[in-house]
Amino acid sequence: MVNTSALPIVRKPSKVEGLKERSNFLREPVASELLLDTTHFTEGATQILKFHGSYQQDNRDNRIKGQEKDYQFMLRTRNPGGFIPPELYLALDQLADEYGNHTLRATTRQGFQLHGILKKNLKAAIAAIVHNLGSTLGACGDLNRNVMAPVAPYKNRPEYCYAWEYANGVADLLTPQAGAYYEIWLDGEKAISAEEDPAVVAARQRNGNGTIIHDSVEPIYGTHYMPRKFKCSVTVPGDNSVDLFSQDLSLVVITNPQGELEGFNVYAGGGLGRTHNKEETFPRVADPIGYVDKADVFDLVKAIVATQRDYGDRSDRRHARMKYLIADWGVAKFQAQVEKYLGKPIQPLKPTPDFKFLNFLGWHEQGDGKLFLGLSVENGRVKDEGNFQLKTALREIVEKFHLPMRITASQNVLLYEIDPANKAEIQQILKRCGIKREDEIDSLVRDSMACPALPTCGLATTESERVMPSVLERIRLLLDSVDLPNEHFIVRMTGCPNGCARPYLAEVAFVGNGPGTYQLWIGASPDQTRLAQVYLEKMSIDELESTLEPLLVYFKQSRNLGESFGDFCDRVGMESLHQFASTYQPTVETESDGSIHASVTNDKKRHRVSVPPEVYSRLQEVAFREGKPISQLATTAIEEYLKSLG
């Protein structure tokens, strides 16, 4: 009799594995269904469409029971290191107006998204992107996603230049080779792309010890591509502007004292997606793996990709990211398998300085006489609204000065190669269009992120981007009311636990958990090197002030000198925070119209003034437009009135 318990358990591959296998290397059913006069694709086609950089969505604000959904498509660009050449920016700007919802959205992985495109316009939109030096290939789907790199264009700091170069190299190495993209969207026309680095071309074909699939048009991916999305970044020592610990694979440039490239430190196994009430899913920070010489770096990338390709879970998509493989195996076993594919040992990590969060906002010298300018974009949304005309401003500046752009990992944009002679004119355009300087924007707003959530994201359980401005304003008012007026910390929000705005690495994070409710995470480091923890499983957004106030007061009373809120919460621990909160007497009241009134018992005592809900909502609108706290607007208006009385 066979002892079945000794046999390996072979679990059924997930449905998506079958779709990939039958797709003829990402062609079908997308190619056939694109020709049909329909508003949307079938479920099978939508899965393959993702590999081409597009998601089928519907405007959830327009859902009417019994009627067809308001189908529309999201397009996401793939641009390593966030690089957007001027012609591509102008094309995207125009596409947003011609086919999209008149906005562009800078993403948390340094891409742009267009929303609201109809199926009949999808081909024209993708073709326009490719014809203007862009691509959407591999921006979504089970393959390597946009490779991140710091945006700073420091020409006198070689490590930054290497980060860009190798971000491009990794992106090229892991680009799908089968050609379906060009057949479908450009009728077979070959893309006009920059020459690939010969080292990348050679590495793609080199076998290593079983890293490539022979006789396949996809030598690295094979017929089934990756078990799940795969995310990489390349950064420089000390620069955590790319959230390197959240990536499947991060490379850190190591140079010698002459600034010459020597190799890379390697981190692997980060990832943030999780599901509420499923403990087996969790966010995870990447582990340090070691160091490889520059000559081995592409083989190392292939070895890691091959390890996940061959051993990642293809039956349960919730358990398919590489973080679970490393968590299940342990780093040592993972590293041993990678070394087997690489054919040599990985060396010990090189020492580097601590990683810091950097935002590169404002004007800076780029080291060759030119300037760069980082612009804060609230939640990444490039739009025109009332006096706030960011879309117009960026179009005008890029058109007039032909400037390249980089999208940051914090949903902001950076313009560079700026001739100092043009600085004043650029500033004038920004001012005319109502764009604030970075030091005029509340630091809470400036460094926060929120995912799109409603109405476009099919997975959102609640609002994110649309409510984030009011949430931050309420936090600022609360900070004022507990006498922490200039306090700053990193706040992130998502409409569900998937983690698109990387909430689990924020000092304070709101993770959607049903309509109007959020799981509250606190205590990540201000430099995103440590995960936050769950403070509350479910918090109604109406309870924002009553929940946060005790924590902020405790922080104010007991913080160490210079300690950030995230570090404080981590130091004292969740139990102590809960204990303090349970005996705390609230001093801040929330009204049903959402306005808050503080009656703080200290020298800066404030008095309550109630306004009718319609006045409050007008104040809220103006405050959003002008980026000012409501209390400041109300105080100014009242002061003006009192002055007029003499």
Whether cis (ω within 30° of 0) applies to the bond prior to 586 is: no
The whole-angstrom separation of Cα 515 and Cα 460 is 9
Residue pair 231/254 in contact by the 8 Å Cβ criterion = no
- Mark the segment that binds ligand SF4 (CB under 6 A) among 401-409, 484-492, 493-501, 574-582: 493-501
Single out the residue of 314, 317, 327 nearest to residue 286, CA to CA: 327
- Mark the segment that binds ligand SF4 (CB under 6 A) among 341-349, 451-459, 568-576, 596-604: 451-459
Residue pair 589/596 in contact by the 8 Å Cβ criterion = yes
The whole-angstrom separation of Cα 362 and Cα 416 is 11
Q: Give the pairing type, strands 83-84 and 232-235.
A: unpaired
Question: Between 278 and 400, whose beta carbon lies closer to ligand SRM?
Answer: 278
The yes or no reply on residue 457 touching ligand SRM (CB under 6 A) is yes
Question: Between 457 and 572, whose beta carbon lies closer to ligand SF4?
Answer: 457
Least CB distance to ligand SF4 at residue 548 (A)? 21
- How distant, in Å, are the alpha carbons of 51, 172, 191, 586, 644 from that of 301? 20, 12, 25, 53, 69
The yes or no reply on residue 453 touching ligand SF4 (CB under 6 A) is yes
Biggest CA–CA distance in the chain, Å, is: 101
Least CB distance to ligand SF4 at residue 590 (A)? 25
The whole-angstrom separation of Cα 277 and Cα 519 is 11
The yes or no reply on residue 499 touching ligand SRM (CB under 6 A) is yes
What mask of x and - would describe binding to ligand SRM in positions 332 to 351, judged by CB under 6 A? --------------------
Position among 55, 73, 267, 510 found at the interface with ligand SRM (CB under 6 A): 55
Single out the residue of 88, 132, 12 nearest to residue 405, CA to CA: 88
Write down the catalytic residue from 50, 145, 321, 323: 145
Residue pair 129/92 in contact by the 8 Å Cβ criterion = yes
Residue pair 249/304 in contact by the 8 Å Cβ criterion = yes
Which amino acid belongs to residue 614? E
What secondary structure does DSSP assign to 474-525, as a single string?
HHHHHHHHTT-TT----EEEESSTT-TT-GGGSSEEEEE-STTEEEEEE---
The whole-angstrom separation of Cα 553 and Cα 463 is 28
What mask of x and - would describe binding to ligand SRM in positions 206 to 235, judged by CB under 6 A? -------------------------x----
The yes or no reply on residue 113 touching ligand SRM (CB under 6 A) is yes
- Residue 53 interacts with, from ligand SF4, ligand SRM, none (CB under 5-8 Å by kind): none
- Mark the segment that binds ligand SRM (CB under 6 A) among 63-71, 107-115, 330-338, 417-425: 107-115
Single out the residue of 173, 162, 177, 355 nearest to residue 270, CA to CA: 355
Residue 205: Cβ-neighbour burial (10 angstroms; 0-12, 13-18, 19+): exposed
Question: Between 381 and 476, whose beta carbon lies closer to ligand SRM?
Answer: 381
> Which segments of 236-386 are extended strands (E)?
249-255, 261-268, 287-293, 362-365, 371-375, 381-382, 384-385
Position among 29, 53, 81, 111 found at the interface with ligand SRM (CB under 6 A): 111
- Mark the segment that binds ligand SRM (CB under 6 A) among 260-268, 270-278, 613-621, 637-645: 270-278
Write down the catalytic residue from 302, 500, 569, 628: 500
- Residue 495 interacts with, from ligand SF4, ligand SRM, none (CB under 5-8 Å by kind): ligand SF4
Active site residue 231: yes
Least CB distance to ligand SRM at residue 511 (A)? 12
The yes or no reply on residue 500 touching ligand SF4 (CB under 6 A) is yes
The yes or no reply on residue 245 touching ligand SRM (CB under 6 A) is no
- Residue 314 interacts with, from ligand SRM, ligand SF4, none (CB under 5-8 Å by kind): none
Position among 494, 517, 525, 620 found at the interface with ligand SF4 (CB under 6 A): 494
The yes or no reply on residue 107 touching ligand SRM (CB under 6 A) is yes
Question: Between 174 and 500, whose beta carbon lies closer to ligand SF4?
Answer: 500
Residue pair 240/356 in contact by the 8 Å Cβ criterion = yes
User: Interface with ligand SF4 by CB under 6 A: which residues?
Assistant: 451-453, 457, 459-460, 464, 494-496, 498-500
User: Interface with ligand SRM by CB under 6 A: which residues?
Assistant: 55, 57, 74, 76, 107-109, 111, 113, 139, 145-146, 231, 243, 246, 271-273, 321, 380, 411, 451-452, 456-459, 498-502
